[in-house]
Amino acid sequence: MDAWIGLMSGTSMDGIDAILVSFADQKVQIHATHSTPYPNDIRERLAGLSQNHGSPDELGELDHLVGNLFADTVLELLTKSDVAQDQIRAIGSHGQTIRHQPDGGTPFTLQIGDPTLIAERTGITTVADFRRRDMAAGGQGAPLVPAFHKAFFADSCEDRCILNLGGIANLSHLPADKSQSVTGFDTGPANALMDAWCKDQTGQGFDNNGAWASEGEVDQSLLSDLLSDAYFQRQPPKSTGTEKFNLEWVQTNLARHPNLNAADVQRTLLELTAITVAQQLPEQPRMTIFACGGGARNPVLMRELQRTCSPCKVTTTAAIGLDPQWVEPSAFAWLARQTLTGQPGNLPEVTGASGERILGAVYYS
């Protein structure tokens, strides 16, 4: 048996998810999972660095600290597993995104979490830095998960859309007709703005089950201003991150709407996610949307997505065999597999790259 480990920490910066999986017959078999929340001080330092509040020393220190946390997470995962270490081919580490700037004259993306520390401390070959090769080939470097979605979730009987609701929302359209291309891109914010506003106003890192948003009402004037951002009208390929959609972006828009109730702002931010996803869906009324990521656990967001995306059905990836929390970590385990077996990990029709590329850098054990 060939087993693989996937490590994922997304734009919400809430912690690290690790999964130990094997792949057979276009199915993902989960052997063990483990999650490590970021300590509050690390999360705050990461958030500051992502907003350019930091120095080269801060970047280097966090690269080391996060790398050790990733390694700790793998070691904890291994203690929960019955898979022998010599059966694990490699770790695929997404790293922690600090900055993603795919446009302009000098496009770049930066993920930290020193992969040499992961390989050294775990004794397992580690593949990391998946995004930059696609960008070097003229692509956005994101999203990369549509290739995994295509491999494991496409169905010849129905059009499907995989909707990842992390800090940023991205979707993959998987046509039933295999002659049609897969499409995928970032639609805009998902949890990032709601988490940032909740933290700023209540001190809590996120709005548990959307309870606070459910106390508020959508402010149509604020919503209209938020929806006017040019990103939502851009045609794919496109990708974004918290360097654009962050608390400062919310506060800039709020300057034109003083004295709004804080819960109304939260509800409006949730509505923004639901509407921007719906507006950018392909025109396939019979399509089923399978949500994953942290937002799939927010019943208020899921309810509003069902409303805005009607007549499409909205459910989660649990309905097609993979728990929503573990889709992205599984994708990076699979991307490591693609790299070490000499196969491409990107979809040029999604990212805009000039062709298929083998992604990532390999750090041997």
- Token couple for 305: 């997505």
C-alpha dist (Å) from residue 71 to 5, 13, 17, 32, 117: 11, 17, 12, 16, 7
Q: Find tokens 């600290």 and name the residue.
A: 65
What are the residues facing 163 on neighbouring strands? 171, 291
User: Is 17 annotated as ligand-binding?
Assistant: yes
- The answer to whether 15 is annotated as binding is yes
What are the b/e assignments for 71-83, b being 16+ CB within 10 Å? bbbbebbbeebeb
- 3-class state of residue 51 by DSSP: coil
3-9 and 15-24 beta bridge pairing:
antiparallel
Is 310 among the annotated ligand-binding positions?
Answer: no
Give the DSSP letter of residue 341.
T
Parallel, antiparallel or unpaired: strands 160-165 and 288-292: parallel
Question: Annotated binding residue at 14?
Answer: yes
Beta pairing class for 361-363 and 288-292: unpaired
The C-alpha atoms of residue 81 and residue 4 are separated, in whole angstroms, by: 12
104 is in an annotated binding site: no
Cα gap 156→158, rounded to integer Å? 6
Yes or no: say if 284 and 310 are a contact pair by the CB < 8 Å rule: no
13 known ligand binder: yes
Binding site: which residues?
Answer: 10-17
Binding site for ATP: which residues?
Answer: 10-17
